[in-house]
Amino acid sequence: MEAKGKKEISFTEGSVGIALIKFAVPVLGALVLQAAYGAVDLLIVGIFGDAASISAVGTGSVFMNMITFIITSLAMGSTVIIGQHIGERNPKAAGDTVGTTIIMFGALGIIVTILLEVFAENIVHILQVPAESVEKTIQYIQICSGGIIVIIAYNVISSILRGVGNANLPFLFVGIACVVNIIGDLFFVGVLHMDVVGAALATVLAQLVSVIISLAVLRRKNLGIIFSKQQLRVSETELRKILRVGVPIALQETTVQISFLVINSIINGMGLMPSAGYGVAQKLVSFMLLVPVSVMQSVSAFVAQNVGAGKHKRAFKGFYTAMLGGGIVGVFMFLFSFFGGELISSIFSGDQEVIAQSAAYLKGYCPECILTCVLFSSIGYFNGNGVSKPVMFQGIISALCIRIPVSLFMSRLPGSSLTYVGLATPIATVWGIAFFACCFIWFRKKQKNLFGGVMQ
């Protein structure tokens, strides 16, 4: 890992737009494939199973996605710190960050595995899963939690690669996982008729194969860092840096994901069909969010390298460029999901009532396609600067004070539908955008040294 590889992108020179596109496209591709192999579970279970199985996979995958998102958010601390060290041209410090990251997340994986295995049944009851789906949901969570260490390993490897500006290898690794998962789902669910259990096994197997191959590739890959076995230890300095950035992001993501679990619970209380419809809608939403998530990850890596190099004006230009490009794509996604909700929902279920429930949710949710590009770009910019506390405050307030109360209120309106509940998310995002607008103004006035006058 002692030389700069050909696939690593330098964000500190050249065209801002081209650098972002070169990085964002494989990031988006990896996210598409990652969402695809998650959606394959629901698709194949929907073909061979019943509404109870769809509800179980939908709810179980929402919970496991929450765990994955939290881990990825914490790993963002590593991405940012590695990126800053690359911008500083300090490859040894980047290697120390890698070693600390491996030890920290290895310990975290063991703890999370034990907790999920022990408390899976309690979690399912808290989620108010419909009675018909309880046992299947428990099975799904327990099997996936048994492989959580593999899921953590994949996300840690990806975070390290994004930090050095390499988005192509994560794209390759998730592509491998996608192929393995499709084959596994068809075999376990379609041939062996293992239903929810088969879907969970296929997911874990896919991640395992991907991690094994990724480790083999990385052993022969030169990155822009210096890393040796002696650095496979916890560096207190790097650990503090990682946690300073990663913990607020993880707390924000935890609160956000919990809010969606609460919404899931609220919808589960509306009956089996709304629950199944919401499960389908969430799979579609996971695809809708891919563009803003890729924008956020790209902005974080871009800003981190430029901040490390002292190029604050270029960092802000990258933020603005990414936000504008993502917003334009978001407009088309909004139109497609609003007018074609039933069409895209039919991909995952042939049950007309489930399709109708999913489409109803999407009609309320779809403004988020545009709004979240603005919000996530702001999050990426603050994360890349290593200033993650505003991100935490925004996420917690949006989730606890807006998204959950509005969802509960909407669900209790006379003649309420999933359309009303779906509106809670874009309403919360509007507040988040306003919050970050105030943050930008505040930092321009109070912390000009941090931003280097980039907003002038």
Q: Are 144 and 63 in contact (CB under 8 A)?
A: no
| Predicted pLDDT at 361 | 92
Q: Which pLDDT score, from 0 to 100, does residue 450 have?
A: 47
Indicate the burial class of 216 (C-beta count within 10 angstroms; 0-12, 13-18, 19 or more). exposed
Integer Cα distance of 160 and 5 in angstroms: 14
- What's the pTM? 0.74
3 state SS of 415: coil
Cβ atoms within 10 Å of 230's Cβ, excluding its own? 8
**Interatomic CA distance for residues 85 and 304, integer angstroms:** 9
Residue 378: both structure tokens together: 């702001």
Nearest to 24 by CA among 173, 222, 179, 162: 162
Through-space distance between the first and last CA atoms of the chain, rounded to whole angstroms: 39
Q: Which amino acid is at 332?
A: F
Q: Please give the chain's pLDDT, 456 residues, in tens.
A: 444 444 566 677 878 888 888 888 888 887 787 777 667 777 888 888 888 888 888 888 878 877 887 888 888 888 888 888 877 778 888 888 888 888 888 898 899 889 988 898 888 888 778 888 889 999 999 888 888 888 888 878 887 777 777 778 888 888 888 889 889 989 998 889 898 899 889 888 888 888 888 888 777 776 667 767 777 788 888 888 888 888 888 888 888 878 887 888 888 878 788 888 888 888 788 788 888 888 888 888 888 888 888 888 888 888 989 898 888 888 998 998 898 888 888 887 778 888 988 999 999 999 998 999 999 999 988 888 888 888 888 989 998 999 999 998 988 888 778 889 989 999 999 999 999 998 888 766 655 654 444 444
Q: Which amino acid is at 190?
A: G
> In what helix (H) or strand (E) does residue 320 lie, and over which residues does it extend?
helix 312-339
Burial class (CB in 10 A: 0-12, 13-18, 19+), 243: middle
Cβ–Cβ contacts within 10 Å for residue 125, how many? 11
Q: Comparing C-alpha atoms, which of 372, 221, 388, 357 is closest to residue 293?
A: 372
Distance (Å) of CA 315 to CA 9, 75, 103, 248, 321: 15, 21, 31, 21, 10
Instruction: Give domain limits for the chain.
Output: 16-444
The Cα 355–Cα 281 span in angstroms is 9
Alpha-carbon dihedral angle through residues 35, 39, 41, 42, given to the nearest 10 degrees: 150
State the DSSP H helix or E strand holding residue 384, giving kind and residue range, or none if neither: helix 368-384
